[in-house]
Amino acid sequence: MKKNYKNEALYFKALADETRLEIIEMLKTGELCACKILENFDITQPTLSYHMKILQECGLVSGRRDGAWMRYSLNKESFESMKNLFNELCLEMVHEQNSCCDQC
């Protein structure tokens, strides 16, 4: 049965932007307020909201309201899913490199 890669593709689409990659890097240390994330970029608050929406919609980032601000953190389950995908792909690559055809 063929695997459905729809969710995994959303991860890669979200990470295909250097600003969002940098946001992920910042969130590795733990939960951050949107204001702290915004301090590191030369972008407007609506632009940050756009990036965070993409990261949240694919499930890589979780957000929670704290008064007037949003606080963001990484969704560890999604990163575990991506890690498992890479592990599977790497194992498949090794297997394919070791055999030249179905008869091998």
Please state whether 20 falls in left (phi above 0), alpha (psi between -120 and 50) or beta: alpha
The model's pTM = 0.81
Query: Binning pLDDT at 50, 70 and 90, where does residue 35 land?
Result: very high
Domain range summary for the chain, segments of one domain joined by + = 6-75
Q: Show the tokens assigned to 90.
A: 């790497």
* Per-residue pLDDT reduced to its tens digit, 52-83: 999 999 999 999 999 988 999 999 999 898 88
Q: How far apart are CA 99 and CA 77, in angstroms?
A: 33
Q: Show the tokens assigned to 91.
A: 């194992």
**Residue 57: closest CA among 101, 3, 6, 102:** 6
CATH T-level topology, domain 6-75:
Arc Repressor Mutant, subunit A (1.10.10)
